[in-house]
Amino acid sequence: MELFELTAHELHAKLDKRETSAEEIVKSVLGRISRVENKVSAFMTVNIDEAITKAKEIDEYIASGKKITPLTGIPIAVKDNMCTKGILTTASSKILRNYIPPYNATVVEKILQAGAIPIGKTNLDEFAMGSSTENSAYKVTKNPWNLGTVPGGSSGGSAACIAADEAILAFGSDTGGSIRQPASFCGVVGLKPTYGRVSRYGLIAFASSLDQIGPLTKDVTDAAIFLNVMAGHDPKDSTSVDLPVPDYRKSLIDDVKNLKIGVIKELLGEGIGSGVKKSILEAAELLKKLGAKMEEVSMPTLKYGVATYYLLATAEASSNLERYDGVKYGHRSSEADDLLAMYYNTRREGFGPEVKRRIMLGTYALSAGYYDAYYLKAQKVRTLIKNDFEKAFSKFDCLISPTAPSPAFKIGEKTDDPLSMYLSDIATIPVNLAGIPAISIPCGFVNDLPVGLQIIGKAFSEEMLFRVAYAYEQNTEWHKRKPKL
Amino acid sequence: MKYETVIGLEIHAQLLTESKIFCGCSTKFGAAPNTNICPVCTGQPGVLPVLNKKVIEFAIKTGLALKGSVAKRSIFARKNYFYPDLPKNYQISMYELPLIVGGHMDITVDGKPKHVGITRIHLEEDAGKLVHQGAAGLKGSTGSRVDFNRTGVPLMEIVTEPDIRSPEEAKVFMQELRNLLVYLGVCDGNMEEGSLRCDANVSIRKIGQRELGTKTEVKNMNSFKSVQKALESEIKRQTEMLESGERIVQETRLFDDTTGTTTPMRSKEEAHDYRYFPEPDLVPIEPDKKWVDEIAKTITELPSAKKEKYIKEFGLPEMNASILTSNKNMSDFFDEALKIDPTLALGSSNMLIGEVSAYCNDNKKDISETSLRPDHLIEILKGIDAGVISRTSAKKVIIKVMDTGENVKDIISESGATQISDEKELLNIISDVISNNTKSVADYMSGKENALFFLMGQVMKATKGRANPEVLKKLLIKQIKK
């Protein structure tokens, strides 16, 4: 096996035994990138020289006999909506085409502290708005399993680079499914932690009350290891929660006996592909065989999730994106004689159609005379959805559903139909609205394309998710399959 | 008068915290442009605000001093509008749920008590400053730059009920409020530098009418005087409009200090839709009772209580007490002087509101900026009582101390300001005066008391005011009657 094919925990074991070096790992991964990136287009920027320099420093550090962390020397891909000091950060938008942040996001700072090596910045739907990464202003990322299909989105670059072995770990961000849906499409593991578990400082905001950073990895163990490093209270983020971070590796036990798991009825009905449904039911069957108590659960408010989300997320986005005005940084239109023209032209030239659509939707939802009917009502529905989950968790340890209604769709298939694109997040959106964690793990294939199983837990129950996901993974082989590139 | 005036004020006070409201940058005024800035207050992509606890403390302190109640739960909202001095293009401000609800301040206007209700107190961040090059404003300038030093400086907005009935009341309210904020140490109260700003909602209605008239909002009043002037001019304008049968339009008007009039800025129709919504990057503020109680303890004596004490415990006339407490540094000075010698309370207060205040006004200085110390004042007062110096020369001495900070004794001896109480020395001069002013002597003898004062004045003139008046009077009468 080549080094680039391994997981972080496998590489860590080799480094720990001095069987390899950070430089070898980085060069192996950079070599892989040079061979397959032209097919996948996962990256916005690859930090070739910086990564090699950093790897050499790490090797010196290891040679000095100092203790290494599970992330020491591990190449990590960073989604391009997370600020990296001195490294171009575009959020895949033209409006930030030349933006070099003066600071690091907290999560970036944390992996640097842990000795990891940022290998590059990955492509996304512009400002994380989309479900296919086709909304990037720069490039279309391809699904490594079938280059004619999308990798999902918005963390399409991060999911694709993990599936294609172009990085060992990758950061994603998830506002309505942007980690889990691409994880599902690309056959990798993706976790959206509880809102407040991971600092958002330095994550270019899409919808502040929903955004959450999380891991995209090759297996469940890596997700636990990666979350160990990124989780925790950050004084720079008031919405990050000051709760102790458990060692998530301790929840990696192959045992689901007597766990009560609910199968969400509404997410196996209309609109869910038959192949996907079959895979999920088989997964439920396996968990039952492993000793879990499976039961169907009805959550009637989930059907309002997408509508609620597209009012709240767009309302927050319309405000979050106001700062891109050409005054301070990023793109400024050269066609402007006065202030208003500078604003209009800068934003007209800088934002893509989906971003403009959402700014308009959100602005409308917040406008005088519409606020109560849209924004406020959506907030109330959000509470109902939250209540529905709480009710379910009074009975179940966790819930399962498909991550997405279908496997990866064809490039261009939904670009002219935003509503059908929005519906591909029907199973993931309610989780963000409720602020709870969920993980997507590979659970089968339909037409040679991966299918993801979503496991949802109550707030701060990531340990439960890891336990169930790990047990499932230990008893299946899906995660071991690799796309042919 | 046919109409009654109704005024409500909105006061913005910059809080005296060391750092900004949502980041650690310094709030210091006058730094080179864009030096007190960081990723947060320049609105870089991805940054998040973190609330400065001191800001909440200051606002709670003010709220308690104004007898308001601290909301169990208050939240920040986003006020969205585009302007280059606002880096995020939204201002973080409290909207539906302010920190302080209710309250009031009692003032005295023309000797009559007046109750002004406080509607609410809320917090927000200040914007930056645009600098237009080659012109005073945007018009005619060759370019515009923005200075973000002020961006994120904490602002406290105090909104009053429409209880104010005259420009005079508005002015007095502002003066008293400024004084209170300075006492609390939460704001420096400098209107010229903009750390205290005031907008007014003004309307008039027929006396006896219950509904309020259409209001206008008057902005840009940068001194107490301009608050009064602006409101007088606006009321006059509204009265003339109603008199001539015109309708008042709801609008925002800008006061121009040079013309003394208000001009329209924007109409109600042009008013922004700020699209307020709860700030998702901050959590609700829920101050616990223990903390609020601790803050309450930090409120030292307020001006009204101090004034009361000066009158009751130290026997000051109402006017003295009132003037002293209207300036925190002046009353702090007085308190120090009281500690040295409480029996000189009246003398100290007279000197402070008299000579000292006059000096400060003439030189545009605060008492703290002069070299005078409380022990100087007491020494001078004791000198007067002991007959070492006269009141007249004491005035010169105190001015010299304020200028130089020199030792009181040295100044007195150097200037020859020592009083002449020596009878022999005075007798020579008195004899001269009596022989040169025989008419006045005769007048006095025939019962004209005033003639005596004329004669005393002559002696004073000859001694350059150094004669001890009591000794002089006694000797003079004795010599005349001889």
Collect all residues with Cβ–Cβ distance below 8 Å to A320 and sequence separation of at least 6: A205, A206, A207, A208
Which chain B residue has the Cα nearest residue A327? Answer: B84
Residues 257-276 of B with CB under 8 A from A: 273, 275-276
Phi, psi (rounded to 5 degrees) for A409: -95, 170
B51 touches chain A (CB under 8 A): yes
A3-259+396-480 under CATH 3.90.1300.10, yes or no: yes
| Residue B415 predicted with pLDDT over 70 | no
- Residue B1: its pLDDT value, please? 52
The candidate with the shortest Cα–Cα distance to B100, out of B186, B189, B28, B192, is B186
Residue B443 token pair: 């007048």
Q: Which of B326-340, B369-383, B443-457 has the lowest mean pLDDT?
A: B443-457
Helix/strand/coil for A260:
strand
Cβ contact (<8 Å) for B43 and A328? yes
- Residue A73: its pLDDT value, please? 97
Residue B407 token pair: 């030792």
SS3 letters across chain B? CCEEEEEEEEEEEECCCCECCCCCCECCCCCCCCCCCCCCCCCCCCCCCCCCHHHHHHHHHHHHHCCCEECCCECEEEEECCCCCCCCCEEEEECCCCCEECCEEEEEECCEEEEEEEEEEEEEECCCEEEEECCCCCCCCCEEEEECCCCCCEEEEEEECCCECCHHHHHHHHHHHHHHHHHHCCCCCCCCCCCEEEEEEEEEEECCCCCCCCCEEEEEECCHHHHHHHHHHHHHHHHHHHHCCCCCCCEEEEEECCCCEEEEEEECCCCCCCCCEECCCCCCECCCHHHHHHHHHCCCCCHHHHHHHHHHHHCCCHHHHHHHHCCHHHHHHHHHHHHHCHHHHHHHHHHHHHHHHHHHHHHCCCHHHCCCCHHHHHHHHHHHHCCCECHHHHHHHHHHHHHHCCCHHHHHHHHCCECECCHHHHHHHHHHHHHHCHHHHHHHHCCCHHHHHHHHHHHHHHCCCCECHHHHHHHHHHHHHC
User: Which residues of chain B neighbour A376 with C-beta distances below 8 Å?
Assistant: none
**Greater model confidence, A363 or B400:** A363
- Residue B460: its pLDDT value, please? 82
CB of A354 closer than 8 Å to CB of A126: yes
Tokens 């991966």 sit on residue: A450
ipTM of this complex prediction, to 2 decimal places:
0.96
Task: Identify the burial level of B245 via C-beta atoms within 10 angstroms of its C-beta, where 0-12 means exposed, 13-18 middle and 19 or more buried.
Answer: exposed
Cβ contact (<8 Å) for B275 and A366? yes
Cβ contact (<8 Å) for A368 and B275? yes
HSE (CB half, 13 Å, CA atoms) of B334?
Answer: 29
CA B350 to each of CA B22, B202, B316, B322, B377: distance values in angstroms, whole numbers, following the listed order: 46, 39, 9, 12, 11
CB of A161 closer than 8 Å to CB of A45: no
Q: Which residue out of A328, A329, A363 would a mutagenesis test of the B interface target, given it has the greatest number of B Cβ atoms within 10 Å?
A: A328
For the entire predicted model, the pTM comes to: 0.89
Mean pLDDT of A104-114: 98
Nearest CB to A237; choose among B48, B78, B90? B48
CB of A102 closer than 8 Å to CB of A108: no
User: Which residues of chain A neighbour B89 with C-beta distances below 8 Å?
Assistant: 322-323, 325
User: Which residues of chain B neighbour A209 with C-beta distances below 8 Å?
Assistant: 280
B152 touches chain A (CB under 8 A): no
| Residue B475 predicted with pLDDT over 60 | yes
| Residue B366 predicted with pLDDT over 60 | yes
- Per domain, the residue ranges of chain A are 3-259+396-480
Nearest CA-CA distance, residue A207 and chain B, Å: 9
Alpha-carbon torsion (A78, A81, A82, A85), positive or negative? positive
Q: Helix crossing, B167-184 with B303-314: angle to 10°?
A: 90
Confidence bin at A184 (pLDDT 50/70/90) = very high
Answer left, alpha or beta for residue B152, where phi above 0 means left and psi between -120 and 50 means alpha: left
CB of B410 closer than 8 Å to CB of B457: no
- Residue B416: its pLDDT value, please? 63
DSSP H or E stretch at residue A297 = strand A293-297
CB of A172 closer than 8 Å to CB of A214: yes
Mean pLDDT of A130-147: 98
The candidate with the shortest Cα–Cα distance to A127, out of A91, A181, A99, A96, is A91
Q: At residue A431, what is the residue type?
A: V
The candidate with the shortest Cα–Cα distance to A76, out of A19, A114, A127, A130, is A114
- Residue A419: its pLDDT value, please? 84
Q: Which residue out of B22, B268, B276, B277 would a mutagenesis test of the A interface target, given it has the greatest number of A Cβ atoms within 10 Å?
A: B277
Nearest CA-CA distance, residue A293 and chain B, Å: 38
- Per-residue pLDDT of B97-127, as tens digits, reads 999 999 999 998 988 999 999 999 999 999 9
- Per-residue pLDDT of A53-97, as tens digits, reads 999 999 999 999 888 999 999 999 999 999 999 999 999 999 999
Confidence bin at B181 (pLDDT 50/70/90) = very high
Nearest CA-CA distance, residue B139 and chain A, Å: 11
Mean pLDDT of A344-354: 97
Peptide bond just before B26 cis, omega within 30 deg: no
Q: Which residue out of B34, B55, B129, B281 would a mutagenesis test of the A interface target, given it has the greatest number of A Cβ atoms within 10 Å?
A: B281
Nearest CB to A322; choose among B44, B80, B281? B80
Q: Which of A450-464, B117-131, B363-377 has the lowest mean pLDDT?
A: B363-377
| Residue B467 predicted with pLDDT over 90 | no
Mean pLDDT of A357-372: 96
B137 touches chain A (CB under 8 A): no
Phi, psi (rounded to 5 degrees) for A166: -90, -5
Answer left, alpha or beta for residue B416, where phi above 0 means left and psi between -120 and 50 means alpha: left
User: Which residues of chain B neighbour A95 with C-beta distances below 8 Å?
Assistant: none
- Domains of chain B by range and CATH? 3-294 (no CATH), 301-415 (no CATH), 423-481 (1.10.10.410)
Confidence bin at B301 (pLDDT 50/70/90) = confident
